Structure 1
Amino acid sequence: MDFSKPLKIYPTAMHACSYLPGQVARNAVVDPELAMTMQVYDYLIKSGFRRSGSQVYRPYCENCSGCITTRVAVNEFKPDRSQRRNAKLNQDLTVKLNKEGFKSCYAEMYEKYLKDRHEDTEADGVEDFLTAHWCDTLFVEFYEQDELIGVATIDQLESGLSAVYTFFDPDKGSKRALGVFALTWQINYAKELGLEYVYPGYWIKDCRKMNYKTRYQPLEGLVQGVWKPLEKQ
């Protein structure tokens, strides 16, 4: 990868960790003045970065290395028994790809999802959180008959698909374990496109809501700059 200028990365201020109680955290963020491209973003994804809106970042904590970026090798992925049952449970759903951008109807579902899962009712800025003007983003829509019940936001890169965020109507999606179905669908879609990986985000061993990723095998984690297998927990 050839950058015409050195890539500038800045540390954020310290803040309370969202995942590990009692811990403090900070991120390293890519210079917001950088003219980001999908080629540069793909390089950064493979180097452990993620995207939140137009900000590209990675954890940069002094005394903790618990956030491990992950990837699933789609051609080697084998769904386990639970994932196969989940696929059968959701085989009646219709999946549609929206490549045209954020829809206003997503905001209400996102707010309902946050209220149910995170006791957070603040949905302002959801479009800015999920999208970036320079990014090739897809919205995967899941329908029960004619009703939209879930949305998975993914970025399409040269090396794979990066899972940005999945949300759903908790009244419909929870009993279907729609988050599981959304990720396995992305793995199958990446394989269909001839891509190598799906990047499901950070794995944190000691955080219940972030340690599920090792159920998708084989899974690799970027540990001290080297991609290594992560065993199922």
Structure 2
Amino acid sequence: MRHTLPIAPQFYVTAPQPCPYLDGRMERKLFTALQGEGAQRLNDSLSKQGFRRSQNVLYRPSCADCAACLSARINVNDFTPRKSQRKTIKRNQGLTRRATSPWATEEQYDLFRRYLEHRHAQGGMADMDTFEFAAMIEETPIRTRVVEYTDDDGQLIAVCLTDVLDDGVSMVYSFYDPDLPQHSLGTYIILDHIEIARENGLPHVYLGYWVPGSPKMGYKAGFSGLEVYVDGHWEKMRDPADYESKCHPLSNDPIAEQVANINLPDGRPATPRRR
């Protein structure tokens, strides 16, 4: 019987493109493939180091000009809802939550299109067709759920694609009915995921990236118990103004050094590649 050693993940860097969060900046990502029988362990490990999943790829911003994008998560035990958030929970108490396997439906896609047209008409997903939408939902090599929210009439009004990690839940992408602004559905989905994590004994809810100076990401700083991944470790969120220095052109480490500092689940060194 022949035995082969597992191949260590190789890391690549995307070509620069305009940053969607900060005007005048260029975005670049460090990424690796998420595949094989070790995919779940790799996703668990790299999520704790600021990476995010998109289908079968794990990525982390690695821009030449700044390090403003900070991975953010909520420490469930440290979270206390603010008055406005308690009102949001009460306002949506009639909604029904259902968690299913990652399978795309026409009803989800119709809601997704309406959400994009109202909220992100000029964004990178604006031209996504049904096949690309199905790929976003269904192409996952790890434990993933689609969390749907319906109203009293059974109408689908919100959806979140959610990964299950060994230390929390990761909100990969969410969308909701844009005609119900009074329900604050984006906030409610996060609040309910805090409850989902608490119900399952998981300590964290991963929110994606918080970007100081970006109005699009400012809402994440409004949750108590927020932690950000800075300089290789998680820390409790301080005053948002304290992180503005991360936008400085000299604040980012070289790619080779970034990759060398990545901890893989089996202790193997990470391997940088150019692309």
TM-score range, shorter chain: over 0.9
Highest CA radius of gyration, 1 or 2? 2
> What is the SS of the residue equivalent to 1:170?
coil
Matches within 5 A, 1:13-162: 13-31=15-33, 37-99=39-101, 101-120=103-122, 121-124=126-129, 125-145=132-152, 146-162=154-170
User: Do the aligned partners of 1:110 and 1:123 also contact (CA within 8 Å) in 2?
Assistant: no
Give the TM-score of the pair, scaled to structure 1.
0.92
Q: 2:251 maps to which residue?
A: none
Counterpart code for 2:205: V
Normalized per residue, the structure richer in helix is 2
1:232 to 1:147, Cα distance in 2 relative to 1, 3 A? farther
Q: 1:177 maps to which residue?
A: 184
Normalized per residue, the structure richer in strand is 1
Counterpart code for 1:147: Q
> What is the SS of the residue equivalent to 1:85?
helix
Q: Alignment RMSD, CA only?
A: 1.8
Does residue 1:189 correspond to 2:196, yes or no?
Answer: yes
Q: Using the alignment, how far apart are the partners of 2:34 and 2:145 within structure 1?
A: 22
Deviations 1:167-208 (A, max 9, x none): 012113x22110111001001110110111110110001111
Q: Using the alignment, how far apart are the partners of 2:35 and 2:86 within structure 1?
A: 45
1:221 to 1:82, Cα distance in 2 relative to 1, 3 A? same
User: Do the aligned partners of 1:36 and 1:134 also contact (CA within 8 Å) in 2?
Assistant: no
> What is the SS of the residue equivalent to 1:75?
helix
User: Do the aligned partners of 1:214 and 1:231 also contact (CA within 8 Å) in 2?
Assistant: no
Q: Using the alignment, how far apart are the partners of 2:165 and 2:139 within structure 1?
A: 14
> What is the SS of the residue equivalent to 1:10?
strand
Structure 2 portions without partners, runs of 5+ = 241-275
Higher RCO, Cα 8 Å, sep 6+: 2
1:157 to 1:33, Cα distance in 2 relative to 1, 3 A? closer
User: Do the aligned partners of 1:71 and 1:197 also contact (CA within 8 Å) in 2?
Assistant: yes
Counterpart code for 1:170: P
1:33 to 1:137, Cα distance in 2 relative to 1, 3 A? closer
Structure 1 portions without partners, runs of 5+ = none
Percentage of pairs with the same residue: 33
1:226 to 1:100, Cα distance in 2 relative to 1, 3 A? closer
Q: Count how many residue pairs are aligned between Structure 1 and Structure 2.
A: 230
